[in-house]
Amino acid sequence: MRLADAGLRVLVLDRPPKTKPWGGETFTGAIQTPLKILGLWDTFRHAGHVPGYEQRVAWGGAPWTKSSVLATEGHLWHVDRARFDQDLRDAVLAHAVEIRNYSNLQGLEWDGEFWQIEIDSSAQIRTRYVVDATGRARAIARKLGVRPRIYDRLTGFTAVLPRNSNFDHSMLIESTPEGWWYAAPVPQGHVLAFFTDADLVPREVVRFMRSVAANSSFAQPESEQGWLTVGDACAAHDPLCGWGVCRALSNGILAADAIDWYLRQGDASALDAYRNHCRDQFTSYLNGLTRHYSHEQRWTSAPFWERRTSAPRPSARGELHAES
């Protein structure tokens, strides 16, 4: 949308996932900033998402409650993610941007000036710039040999339950020796999720919930090569922070402006600035995440919490390195 508004011709190649196990999620009030920039704030406010006025937390000691009503950026939003995604697609189409579904990305070659893309054994696409917005799958990055730096094994297990009227506008978070629980109201009921490391999953959880990747990871080309990553393809966050979608949109806007400047002026400095911004932002996020997990001192010897007592770092090969 941002690139189309700048007068550039844009093609979105879309391969929707076969299943969407994540029934809903919570956005902080900061989501209004990128949505206002994109002209989507009113659409979002009237889409039926559930306003969140309260956080009930049992983490690190005695339970406590925090009101979201007076938060500087506004109250929380408990979101029907399928509706949110569809509203974004509709907005893209309204900006005269073509969305083309595909099954297989088979060819991707750079001649120094243009990309040649082949999808589904037939369609040939020629473009000056490529953006990897494929989420944690990182279809473009992996195709080009850029391996993500993975910092943990966090996995979420989710289910959507009937609405509990006692918690109509409340988000609940509770830590346990094996991980932590999250619950929040969404338009279709109540979403319940348990987060733990992939090798620590309790059997009773696996039986009735669906899994979704939730680890922290980062991938970005080191220099200007005619492509970059945005959203979860660039920086995937632990759901505990609640920043993933907001940062995806905000950084997507920054990336679009940098690409526009580069294509019009031939100056890659804005793209370098975008990459540096994303790296610095992710480093700050990792440090903050470690501090937050360190607030829970009741189960420091349990494997899940022991792995989170110092700042995580990946191995040189991009695989997990867990410090103890």
CA atoms within 13 A on the CB side of 145: 3
Residue 320, pLDDT above cutoff 80? no
pLDDT value at 249 more than 70: yes
C-beta separation of 76 from 28 below 8 A: yes
pLDDT score of 311 more than 70: no
Under 8 Å between Cβ of 232 and 184: no
Q: Which residue type sits at 138?
A: R
Round to whole Å and give the CA distance between 199 and 26.
Answer: 26
Spell out the domain ranges in the chain: 20-82+146-321
pLDDT at 322 over 50: no
Tokens (6 digits) for 34: 């990128």
Please name the fold of domain 20-82+146-321.
FAD/NAD(P)-binding domain (3.50.50)
H or E segment and range at residue 66: strand 64-67
Whether pLDDT at 321 is above 70: no
Residue 22 corresponds to which tokens in the numbers above?
């994540």
For residue 122, count CB atoms less than 10 angstroms from its CB and return exposed for 0-12, middle for 13-18, buried for 19 or more: exposed
Alpha carbons 322 and 300: distance in angstroms, whole number: 15
Residue 203 — pLDDT band, cuts 50, 70, 90? confident
Mean pLDDT of 294-298: 94
**Residue 122's pLDDT is what?**
76
Residues 6+ apart with CB under 8 A from 18: none
User: Phi and psi of 36, rounded to 5°?
Assistant: -65, -40
Q: Mean pLDDT across the stretch 318-322?
A: 39
Helix (H) or strand (E) holding 97: none
Handedness of CA 295, 27, 25, 149 (dihedral sign): negative
152, 216 Cβ separation under 8 angstroms? yes
CA dist., res. 157 & res. 209, Å (int)? 5
**Stronger pLDDT, 321 or 227, i.e. the higher one:** 227
Mean pLDDT of 171-179: 96
Indicate if the pLDDT at residue 205 is higher than 80: no
Report residue 314's pLDDT band, with 50, 70 and 90 as the boundaries: low
pLDDT at site 186: 92
pLDDT computed for residue 23 by the predictor: 72
Residue 313: pLDDT above 80? Answer: no
